Amino acid sequence: MSDPTFSGFNEPHPHSRQQRLVVLLVDDQPIIGEAVRRALASEADIDFHYCAQANEAVAIAEALRPNVIMQDLVMPGVDGMTLVHHYRIHPVLKHVPVIVLSSKEDAVVKSQAFATGATDYLVKLPDSIELIARVRHHARAYLNQIERDEAYRVLSEHQKRLLELNETLRRLSDVDGLTGLNNRRYLDSYLDAEWRRALREGTEFSVLMLDVDNFKLYNDYYGHLAGDEVLKEVAGVMRQTLQRPADLAARYGGEEFTVVLPSTPASGALLIAEQLCSAVRALALPNPAAPSGIVTVSVGVATAAPAHRESYAPLLRVADMALYEAKRAGKDQAVYRVREE
C-alpha cells in the first residue's frame, strides 16, 4: 500500500455507484490497513478507504459516506469507543454499520462496544473469507435499509399528495362552480351540523333566503352570460357582508341563495338581510327590466330555537315564505316572518 492515508474526498457519492460497497477502515496501524486492503482487493465491487488518524475519522467518514466503517478500539488521541459514539450521534453517520476491531476476545469489551453502538465485533484480523462475508452482510443490509427508507419516504410523500388532492376535490365538490359560494350539497350538511349545535347549546338559529329580483327579465334582456356575472356580483356582496366564521352563504339554486346564521336572534338576522339588500343596491348594476332600473334582491328571514326531534326544514320553509312576502310587497327589501308553532 503506497499511501496509508484516506484518498476518497473526490469520489462520487457511494449511492451513485450502482450499489458498490464503500468500506472505511480507521486504524492507526498501517500494517492492519494493508492487510484489510489485500483481503478486499479481489472484490471488484468493494471500494476500500483507509484512515490512520482517529481525530480525522468523523470528518472523513462524513465526506466519504461509507456503507461500512471498520474501527479499531485502541488508538492514540481518540478512544475507539468514543469514535463509535461520535458516529452514532452524527446525523449523516448514525445508521452506518460499525464493525469494531479488537486485539482480543473480551466479553466485557464486547458488551461495552455493542452498548456504545457497534454493529459487529471482530478480533483482528479474521480470515479474509469471514471478513468479506461480514462486510457484505452489513453493507447490503445498510443499503437495503436506505432503499426501504427512501421507498417509505416516497410512499409517504405520495400519500400526503393524495390526501391533499382528495381534500381539494372534496372542497371543490362543496363549492358552486359559478359563484364560488358553497353549493346546495354542502349547505344541507352544514345546516344539519349547526342545527344540532344550536340544539345542544340552546341558542337561536336564523336563516335567510335571498333571490335576485326580476332575474329572468334580466337574462332575457342581457343574455345568460351577463346574468352569470350578476350572480357573481351578488355572491361577492354576500361574502363581504358576512363577517363571522360560522356564517355561511350558499347558492341554493338558480338565482336563489341561502345564508345560515348560527347563534343569531331575529333582530340580528334582519339587520344582515337589510345590509345585503342595501349592498346589492349600491352596486348599481343596470336592469332596464326592473322598476328601479337596477339589480336588487329580496330576502326572507326566519329564526328558531331548535327543539328535540325537529329538523331545520320547517325553518327553511318559513324563510322561503318570508321571501315570497318580500317579493309580493314590492321586492328590494327584507321581510321577517314569525314561525308558527
Per residue in 237-254, pLDDT (tens digit) is: 999 999 899 999 999 999
Task: Report pLDDT for 18.
Answer: 52
Q: What range does the domain containing 269 cover? A: 184-336
In a domain, 165, yes or no: no
Residue 119 lies in a domain: yes
Are residue 141 and residue 39 in the same domain, yes or no?
yes
SS3 18: coil
What is the rounded distance in angstroms from the CA atom of residue 83 to the CA atom of residue 281?
Answer: 78
Lowest mean pLDDT among 109-118, 164-173, 318-327: 164-173
CA atoms of 199 and 246, how far apart (whole Å): 16
pLDDT at residue 7 above 60?
no
Instruction: Give the global pTM.
Output: 0.55
Confidence of residue 172 (pLDDT cuts 50, 70, 90): low
pLDDT interval class at 2 (50, 70, 90): very low
**How far, in Å, CA of 132 to CA of 134, rounded?**
6
Q: What is the pLDDT of residues 54-72, one digit of tens each?
A: 999 999 999 999 999 999 9
Q: 144 with 189, same domain?
A: no
Are 314 and 194 contained in the same domain?
yes
Confidence of residue 31 (pLDDT cuts 50, 70, 90): very high
Pick the range with the lowest mean pLDDT from 106-110, 210-214, 330-334: 106-110
* Nearest alpha carbon to residue 117 among 90, 141, 140, 136: 90
Residue that is written with C-alpha cell 341561502 in the block: 258
What pLDDT does residue 20 have?
86
For residue 6, being part of any structural domain is answered with: no
Q: What is the mean pLDDT of residues 325-332?
A: 95
Mean pLDDT score, 216-234: 93
